[in-house]
Structures are given as C-alpha cells and as structure tokens.
C-alpha cells in the first residue's frame, strides 16, 4: 500500500502538474491529501493534480516518486483507475457513438436521451449505468447469447429503460416505455420494433422474463450485471443508490432496500442466461448476502 506521485510533466495554468494516487484505497489517498493540505477540488476521479512546486514536499511526506508509466500500471492493478472514456464529456461522446451505430441519422434523439441520463438528480441511474448495461449486453452477445427476432429492440430498450427516472418504482418504467413508444414511432421505427422495445423496458421493473423470452433475459441480465461486480464496485453502487434516495430517512431506506435485496435473492434464477450465471452469479449472491447481513 503506497501513495504514488509521478514527475511534474503535465502543463497547465502556467506550470506543470504531477498525479498523486494510491495503489490501494481512495480513502488512503484522500487522508494523505488532506493532511498535506492538497485541496479536494484538485481530485479528479482517481487522482489529485498537484503543481510542480509541491512535488518534493509530497515526497518528503511519504509519497513514493515513480515514473508516469509505473504510476499508471499500479493504478490499473489497484482497480481504482477510471478509464478516460468513463470521464465526463468523454463518456457522453462514447455513448453518442454507440447511439449513432444503433440508429443512424437520429442523432438528435440520441443527444436527448443522453441529456436525460445526465440529469442532476441521478447518482446511479446515470451515464455510467447506461454504458455499463450496453457493455454487459455486448459481453453476453459476444459469448453467444442471442435475442429474439426483434434484435435491435434489446439495444433500444437499454437506452430507454431508465430514460425517465424519478425514483418511483413501476411508474418510472411505465413512463420510460411510453417515451420509447412516442420517440421511436417519430423516428420511423417499425411498429413491431417499437412495441417490443416498450415491452422490454417494462420488464426491468421486476426482472422476471418468461423462460422463453431470450430478449428479456438479455436485457434483465445486463441491467443486473452490477450485482456481480467486485465488492469495492458494489459498495460504490450502494452509495450511489443511497444518494438517489437522500430524501428518504435511514430507517425507511433500509427497510425498502432490504425488501429489494430479499426479492433479488429470491429470484430463481437471478440471471437467465448461461453466460451471466457463469460470469456474475456467484459474486452477486455473495454481494447481496453481505449487504443483507450488514443492514
């Protein structure tokens, strides 16, 4: 466990900057920075930017001076690195690329959806979640899982499944499905594709597709892929969900969340595709049981 700092090689604001990181814990990094008087505003998702004149002082305080390459390698190995494409601005660009590949010539609709997913009240159901669902769908399909006949509808449903999000279970899905019907009809999609997209969006209210519903299985498994994340990622997911319900008192939140966790543990199967069960099931059950035990 170490605090690392690379050489001040990054030009900005009339000087050069170093990156200050931890190879084990963001809490450790924040504690070190606070003790050294590095302002929190200098933190950028996985590192602090510190000016060249502070490099020697921070090394004297215990930061280990390493090359830029070594710092990146150890940050990646720690699991704390935030990829460039997940950073604000870049993330929106990546999502727009996905949208334009899915529904060419409808970029305005894609931008509208990206803006919805970027609403300020969102903490978990945001751009990162949308990209995670898209990537999970790709993972499932790359491993041979296939949707039903309206194959594009699964991807469209990923975009619309939380396009309306006000924290009202059931109604959010209904409103998102209604939005999909209107927007996709206006975009010239076939009626069958529009109807299938809306149907899939509604499935995400309970994540219980029929055994024969290949498309529903894909979308629901992708939406629940976060449950099978490593424990530190799962903890960040829980923190983000709590922030979305900051208006709810602790006792009511714990009661509601406990009911959700119990329902998820009772789903049999939790994941419908063989690939999701192989990749995520064991860790998901471990995460859910640990959350329930800590409630």
pLDDT at 90: 84
Q: For each successive 10 residues of the chain (295 residues), what is the average pLDDT?
A: 92 89 95 96 93 97 92 89 78 92 96 96 94 94 95 98 94 98 97 98 96 97 95 91 93 95 94 97 97 93
Tell me the C-alpha distance between 250 and 192, whole Å.
Answer: 44
pLDDT at 86: 74
Q: Report the topology of domain 90-294.
A: Catalytic domain of cyclic nucleotide phosphodiesterase 4b2b (1.10.1300)
pLDDT at 233: 86
Cβ–Cβ < 8 Å for 249, 273: no
Q: Which of 4, 17, 19, 10 minimizes the C-alpha distance to 61?
A: 4
Tell me the C-alpha distance between 275 and 283, whole Å.
Answer: 14
pLDDT at 10: 85
Q: Which of 151, 160, 219, 154 minimizes the C-alpha distance to 184?
A: 160
In the chain, domain spans: 3-82, 90-294
């Amino acid at each position: 466990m170490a605090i690392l700092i690379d050489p001040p090689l990054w030009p900005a604001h009339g000087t050069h900057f170093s990156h200050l990181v931890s190879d084990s814990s963001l809490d450790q990094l924040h504690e070190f920075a606070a003790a050294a008087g590095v302002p929190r505003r200098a933190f950028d998702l996985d590192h602090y930017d510190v000016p060249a004149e502070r490099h020697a002082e921070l090394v004297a305080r215990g930061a280990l001076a390493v090359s830029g390459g070594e710092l990146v390698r150890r940050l990646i190995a720690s699991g704390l690195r935030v990829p460039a494409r997940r950073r604000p601005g870049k993330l929106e660009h990546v999502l727009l690329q996905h949208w334009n590949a899915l529904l060419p010539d409808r970029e305005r609709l894609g931008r509208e959806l990206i803006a919805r997913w970027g609403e300020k009240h969102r903490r978990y159901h945001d751009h990162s979640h949308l990209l995670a669902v898209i990537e999970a769908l790709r993972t499932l399909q790359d491993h041979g899982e296939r949707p039903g006949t309206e194959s594009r509808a699964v991807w469209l449903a990923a975009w619309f499944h939380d396009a309306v999000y006000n924290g009202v279970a059931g109604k959010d899905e209904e409103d998102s499905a209604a939005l999909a019907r209107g927007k996709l009809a206006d975009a010239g999609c076939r009626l069958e594709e529009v109807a299938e997209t809306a149907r899939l969006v509604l499935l995400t209210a309970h994540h219980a597709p029929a055994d024969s519903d290949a498309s529903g299985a894909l979308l629901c498994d992708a939406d629940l892929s976060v449950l099978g994340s490593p424990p530190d990622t799962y903890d960040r997911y829980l923190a983000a969900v709590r922030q979305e319900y900051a208006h709810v008192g602790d006792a009511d939140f714990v009661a509601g969340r406990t009911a959700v966790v119990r329902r998820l543990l009772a789903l049999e199967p939790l994941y419908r595709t063989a690939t999701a069960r192989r990749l995520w099931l064991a860790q998901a059950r471990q995460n859910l049981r640990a959350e329930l035990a800590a409630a």
